[in-house]
Amino acid sequence: MFVMIVCVAVVFLTNCATVGKKVPAPLEEALTEPKVEVLEVKVEKVTWISQVWGEKVYGVNITGKAVYHPAKVGGKSFVEATKGKEFYFDFYDSQGLKLPLQVSFNAQEGKCGPNGMPENVVPGEPFTFEKRAGIASEDEPDRIALWERIATTKFVKWE
């Protein structure tokens, strides 16, 4: 009987001691950090005449679908969660080699969500995004050469 009481006391005290411990970092991050899951992404090479400089710009249209997952604790709207955060994309050539180019944009710069409005993003539901970004101007032959090699893009991170 005495052994049983001692065992119960040890288990009780052990459990009490773990209550005050900090939650492991990956679990804490999963609870408190929002996430964007990119489902698909496409890149299209485009050119246009800059209204500011009046010269040809070599760029890309990045389009795709993503899902916003708010934090489990203290979840914010997509608009609030994206303040100060950027979507980052890398580019690859036809052989799958990474090119020294990266494009980033925040939700307010690109068209995110239904009707291109980040305010319309519903947590847990897919939304579309679109961003046109310049890579090179007419007087940058090295960057134009890189632009010509772009075949695919990959989502890198959201931070």
Q: What H or E segment, with its residue span, contains residue 17? A: helix 2-19
Q: 25 lies in a domain?
A: no
Q: 3 lies in a domain?
A: no
Q: 145 lies in a domain?
A: yes
Q: pTM for this structure?
A: 0.76
Q: How many domains does the structure of the chain reveal? A: 1
Q: 20 lies in a domain?
A: no
Q: 14 lies in a domain?
A: no
Q: 24 lies in a domain?
A: no
The 10s digit of each residue's pLDDT in 88-126 is 999 999 999 999 999 999 888 879 999 999 999 999 999
Q: 74 lies in a domain?
A: yes
Which residues touch 133 (CB under 8 Å, ≥6 apart)? 59, 60, 62, 103, 105
The 10s digit of each residue's pLDDT in 123-147 is 999 999 999 999 999 999 999 999 9
Query: Domain span at residue 142?
Result: 33-158
Q: 125 lies in a domain?
A: yes
Is pLDDT at 4 greater than 50 in this prediction?
no
